[in-house]
Structure 1
Amino acid sequence: MSHVAFLGGGSFGTALGILLANNGCEVSIYDRKKSVVNDININRKNDKYIKNLNIPKNVTAYNDLDETIKDAKFIVLSVPSHVIRAVSSSLKDKISEDVVIISIAKGIEEGSNLRLSQVIEEELPNNKVVILSGPSHAEEVAFDIPTTVVVASRDLDAANKVQDLFISKNFRVYTNDDLVGVEVGGAVKNIIALAAGVCDGIGYGDNSKAALMTRGMAEIVRIGIKLGGNPETFLGLTGMGDLIVTCTSLHSRNRRAGFLIGKGESTEEAIKDVGMVVEGIKACKAFYEIKEKLNVEMPITDVLYKILFEKKDPKEAVVALMEREKKNEIYY
């Protein structure tokens, strides 16, 4: 079977590494923290990110990048969106053109507002890029709980190879050639999940969350179509599926951060308390800029931006959202 290298030994990278090892692959994981590398290699655990793991023996961790990627046929970028460019750049002149690059981050590059596949392609223009997305919390994938995801690429042959690589009895993988839709859905749902957490933190109920998720989906579709995505993609795993799981799950760091903000914490305090990257905060800033430039109406994103970056009171923000001028439900 294939040798697959993971760059980043966090929760999702480790979970997928276990999955591929159980599929028969030789898996290597690069992490800059020696404690993570030692925990994987010696204890067959990764307690920093997920407790009670049993990591197979065909998973090996390294502190050395060159050793990690040696002879790899697939490289998985299992790092947050804000370091995708740097990590991609670190692979220049180190890998051949037949190595497929897989990204599992869900976000937008801050500053350029490029989708992550575009960032990777700028740094590694000769390699095929595949995005893996969908409702897939690491804490469940790691313990073989049934999960379904989608892999998207401009090269369907590459997507098919990645589908074959990951698919298993409890991990079903679909393909999709709508790279724009898959990436936009995966990024914007984090914004809506943050907002859902804010509502939970304030103390609102099921009616509020249902309304937020439904109108949040309208924003995903609206901006996604404007950027060139297929409307049907947003009704699938990377749109509706990921939106549901991220807005409702206790595993969701975006929802958790929003909950803390709804309880009265500042953005900075919430990030510190969550202790991991909260992609929705960066995505909110990026899509606020994108929607302003393209003149796309995204009222939830708009008020969340004001909460996160202009210190608007969350309850006042909800009032402003509810008191907007009346509209027809269906419009794009």
Structure 2
Amino acid sequence: MITVLGAGAFGTSLAISLARTGQPVALWARSGVTEMQASRVNTRRLPSAPFPESLTVIDALSSMSTEGPVLLAVPMQQLRGFLTEHADLLANRTLIAACKGLDLETHLGPVETIRATLPRAKAALLTGPSFAADIARGLPTALTLACKDAVLGKTLQQALTTPNLRIYRTTDTAGAELGGALKNVIAIACGACIGKGMGDSARAALMTRGFAEMQRLALRRGALPETLTGLAGFGDLALTCTSALSRNYRFGLALGRQEHFDTSITVEGIPTANAVVAWAKELNVDMPICSAVAVLSTGKISVSEALQNLLSRPLKEE
């Protein structure tokens, strides 16, 4: 039995993809359970993706199976509190985070948050370039499974692979965490660039220089270079910075166009940018684009001012 905790779009899509193989999957939701049980679809998040027969929707964590891995599809800024609240049920389980970002208070990524909160749990991370709608439709998608325990990583890789979901594995949890977190910040910058009408050439420059920032910080934190150039880093960056399906990119578009953005939509790049700025200062790592996004998201400067600040930096070698 595989259990998915969190019935947002991504958690629901993973549950659907896994259940299509015929294996039993339980999807826990905070609300709307009765409706989903009756309609066999998540009408709020993925209305065009019906549930397979082997997918069960539950409303009580106490009723979930005591065996098999648990996918944590909850927002990064809620992860620590969620683990603390349900520590009695999750303390000794295999927990796979399916969220991206850095905790604004601790600056820890998903795997490190699990380890710090529930040290007896076995922690892993599922990340990479993916949109929930694509996974739910059965479109081909490749993700990275990061787990320090190589043997456990192989077991989880087999358990999570489906006909449309190809899983690669790595033991570099730091690189996978930071690739998935930092690309959201760069996506906001790219969205603002396009929203302001600066063009694709400017976006390409932001993506390239943003990727250099991602590498600088991640390598200082012990990440492997190949992780950043793989699905968890460059792959996710390419997708998130070029598609309006990305919440972070859409937030940037709204900033550039000076349009209202729905505050109920989770934009992980905002708290991550602020965490990164504090972290970079401690490590003495230069992160000008991430710093610009942190200030830009507060409304203290305009997109034009942020761009001018970046362009006025001293010239240097690439």
Q: Post-superposition shift, 1:90?
A: 3.1
Question: Which residue number in structure 1 is paired with residue 50 of structure 2?
Answer: 54
Q: Post-superposition shift, 1:328?
A: 0.5
1:28 aligns with 2:26: yes
Deviates more, 1:46-55 or 1:241-250: 46-55
Q: Choose the corresponding residue for 1:114, options 88, 108, 121.
A: 108
Matching of residues 267-282 of structure 1 within 5 Å: 269-272=260-263, 275-282=264-271
Letter matched to residue 36 of structure 2: I
Letter matched to residue 147 of structure 2: S
- Specify the SS of the correspondent of 2:42: coil
Q: Post-superposition shift, 1:103?
A: 0.4
Whole-Å separation in 2 of the counterparts to 1:170 and 1:7: 21
Q: Choose the corresponding residue for 2:82, options 77, 83, 87.
A: 87
Whole-Å separation in 2 of the counterparts to 1:148 and 1:39: 31
Q: Post-superposition shift, 1:259?
A: 0.4
Question: Which residue number in structure 2 is paired with residue 314 of structure 1?
Answer: 303
Q: Which runs of 4+ in 1 moved over 4 A?
A: none
- Specify the SS of the correspondent of 1:286: helix
Whole-Å separation in 1 of the counterparts to 2:185 and 2:90: 35
Whole-Å separation in 2 of the counterparts to 1:294 and 1:147: 35
Matching of residues 160-239 of structure 1 within 5 Å: 160-239=154-233
1:100 aligns with 2:94: yes
Whole-Å separation in 1 of the counterparts to 2:292 and 2:314: 15
Matching of residues 119-158 of structure 1 within 5 Å: 119-158=113-152
Question: Which residue number in structure 2 is paired with residue 42 of structure 1?
Answer: 38
Whole-Å separation in 1 of the counterparts to 2:257 and 2:299: 17
Whole-Å separation in 1 of the counterparts to 2:310 and 2:117: 40
Which string of whole-angstrom CA distances, capped at 9 and with x for unpartnered residues, describes residues 56-112 of structure 1? 121111221111x23331111100001111221233232573x31010100111111
* Mapped contact 1:213–1:247 kept (Cα < 8 A): yes
Whole-Å separation in 2 of the counterparts to 1:263 and 1:157: 49
Whole-Å separation in 1 of the counterparts to 2:229 and 2:310: 24
* Mapped contact 1:19–1:166 kept (Cα < 8 A): no
5+ residue gaps, structure 2, are none
Q: Post-superposition shift, 1:162?
A: 1.4
Q: How many pairs does the alignment contain? A: 318
* Mapped contact 1:75–1:101 kept (Cα < 8 A): yes
* Mapped contact 2:5–2:71 kept (Cα < 8 A): yes
Question: Which residue number in structure 1 is paired with residue 59 of structure 2?
Answer: 63
Letter matched to residue 291 of structure 2: D
Whole-Å separation in 1 of the counterparts to 2:47 and 2:215: 37
Whole-Å separation in 2 of the counterparts to 1:306 and 1:89: 31
1:246 aligns with 2:240: yes
Whole-Å separation in 2 of the counterparts to 1:259 and 1:72: 43
Question: Which residue number in structure 2 is paired with residue 73 of structure 1?
Answer: 68
Whole-Å separation in 2 of the counterparts to 1:232 and 1:123: 29
Give the TM-score normalised by structure 1.
Answer: 0.93
Give the TM-score normalised by structure 2.
Answer: 0.97
* Mapped contact 2:191–2:241 kept (Cα < 8 A): yes
5+ residue gaps, structure 1, are none
* Mapped contact 2:187–2:237 kept (Cα < 8 A): yes
Letter matched to residue 270 of structure 1: F
Q: Post-superposition shift, 1:271?
A: 4.4
- Specify the SS of the correspondent of 1:136: coil
* Mapped contact 1:121–1:127 kept (Cα < 8 A): yes
